[in-house]
Every structure is written in structure tokens, then in C-alpha cells.
Structure 1
Amino acid sequence: MRIAEISPDGRLLELQHAAYAVEAKLIGDDRIPPLRENLADLQAKPLAWLGAFEEVWLAGAVAYTETPEAVDIDRLIVDPAAHRRGIGRALVEEVLARAGTRKITVATGRENVPARTLYENLGFQKVDDAEPVPGLWITEYSRPA
């Protein structure tokens, strides 16, 4: 697997929709904002992107924002055909390496047990549960500097 910086394009949008469709089923709610984005929306976001490639296949991606003090993982997406192969872990580990000693935050659907387990296994600690939209619950995590 090769991890490289990428720019949002049509295949990334397709991957994002496929990945968030799985999360929507896991959490029982399809009101996840990235599930509804179009390409213009995706490209307008001020996010840094890393893609995980197997040959030329984009198997997963992670998007984040950063400041001198902190890094926020905005989204982690893995092709459903590539689940349980370490792609999500490799992408998050790459962000951790790039973050250095900065604090890192991330949020995921409260009922998304695979994502929560991944973050917890990588040293993230639960901060809070939040309800950004009535009935849609997320769990917020932090990994201290």
C-alpha cells in the first residue's frame, strides 16, 4: 500500500459516498453530511487529503485540517471492499506521524463500533457524545499532544 497526498476528484467522491453509506447503516441514520456532498462541495472544503493506494486503486482516504497546535481528522473513508485490511489504521497512523506532538481530534458516529475501536486502539480518548442534529449522535475523541 502506498499513501500519498491527493486532491478531491470524482473517484474520491464515489469512495466517500460508498464508505458513508456503510456508516449510515451502522448508526441507523443517513443524515451524515459527507453522504450528501457533491463534487463541488467536496472540493470547496479546506481539507488536506491523503489517499491509500493499492496499485492505482484508491482503497481509502483521510482528510484533516491543521494548525500549529492541533490536527483535526475530518473524515476517514475506506472502500467497503477493503474493510478489515488495515487501510484505515495506516491512514490514521500517517496523520499521527505528520501531527508530531500536536493534539489530534476526531469524531465518528456513536454507534460506529469499528471506527470507535480503531481510534481507541490508537490511543484516542473519548471526550464527549454530541447530537449535532436531533437524533444523530457522534462521539468525539482526542489524542493528547
Structure 2
Amino acid sequence: MIIKMKHNVIETAKEIIAVQTAAYLVEANIINYKDLPPLKENIYDIMNAEEVFLGLYQNERLGALLSYNETDSSIEICRLVVLPSLFGKGFASKLLVSLLNSSSKQFFVHTAAKNVPAIQLYKKFGFIIKKTFKVESELEIVKLEKEKSAHSS
């Protein structure tokens, strides 16, 4: 079940940090970069985040989450993370489909250029790489975009 999360509640923020940290530790190993900003976040950072958080629960346990920011013209996916024990079970896809079906706006997301699993997931849903840039000597980022769709939900 996908629900809009109340990330400003301490218990919910703790759930988010637990899933996020586990997922980003895996990404840090994949891309060989241990200094990912989300790994430095704490529950208060989550509680004060401006993003909208969607959580996918299984058996009353948070298994995956997606957060985004929305403007008049676009939606930026800020984070899409899955508990490592649930990798490959479609959780990320379910969250992404839910968000993509909610709006006909343009979508975009940034991820590490070496994060092949994430890039493959976004490409599967029609995102294309629009830009690549270095933020540090050992970290290259790609921006993926999905154009506005002709339909709305």
C-alpha cells in the first residue's frame, strides 16, 4: 500500500532514515563514493524537508519510499529508495508508476552516473539522460528527464 507519509512526525522520520540509510549504503558501494549527502541526514533533516514523501508499506513495515518537489511546470524526484532486502521485487517501480500517473507535468531526477540500476529503472519508464556533470572529482551526476505526457490521470 502506498501512502503519503507524515515525515514531520518523529517516528515516521526514523522509519525514513532507516530505509534511506540502508539503500544509500548500497548505492555508495555501487558507485564507489562513500560521501553521499543523504547518508549525512538525520531525522530532523527529514522532519524539516520540504518534499512530499510517499511510502510503500508491506506488512505494516516501510519497504520503500519516494520523495518529490513539485512546481507549476515540473516534478523533481528527490529520493527513491528501497530496503535492500526487498530489491528486485518491484517496489521502486510501483512508487514511480504511482507518481508518474499522478501528473502530466515534466519529471526529472538526478543520480550518480555509475548508478546503473537506477538509470535503467528510470529509462524503463521513459526518462532520458539530458545532462552529465561532475560535482566532485570522483562523483559524476546525470540528470534524467521525462517529458510531459499528453494524458493526465
> Max radius of gyration: which structure?
2
Moved more, 81-90 or 130-139: 130-139
Superposed, 1:63-142 pairs within 5 Å as 63-98=67-102, 100-142=103-145
Q: Give percent identity, aligned residues only.
A: 29
Structure 1 Cα separation of the partners of residues 123 and 32 of structure 2: 22
1:79-106 CA deviation, whole Å, 9 max, x = no partner? 00000000001111111011x2100000
Using the size of structure 2 for normalisation, the TM-score is: 0.90
Is the Cα contact below 8 Å between 1:108 and 1:116 reproduced in 2? yes
Structure 2 unaligned segments of length 5 or more: list them: 8-12, 149-153
2:3 matched residue in structure 1:
4
RMSD (CA atoms): 0.9
After TM superposition, the runs of 4+ consecutive aligned structure 1 residues lying more than 2 A away are none
2:26 matched residue in structure 1:
22
Count residues with an aligned counterpart: 143
Using the size of structure 1 for normalisation, the TM-score is: 0.95
Aligned AA (2:14) = G
Aligned AA (2:76) = D
Instruction: Say which of 54, 76, 81 aligns to 2:58.
Output: 54
Is the Cα contact below 8 Å between 1:72 and 1:104 reproduced in 2? yes
Structure 2 Cα separation of the partners of residues 122 and 19 of structure 1: 21
Structure 1 unaligned segments of length 5 or more: list them: none
**The residue matched to 1:19 in structure 2 has which SS?**
helix
Structure 2 Cα separation of the partners of residues 133 and 16 of structure 1: 22
Structure 2 Cα separation of the partners of residues 30 and 129 of structure 1: 20
Structure 1 Cα separation of the partners of residues 2 and 61 of structure 2: 12
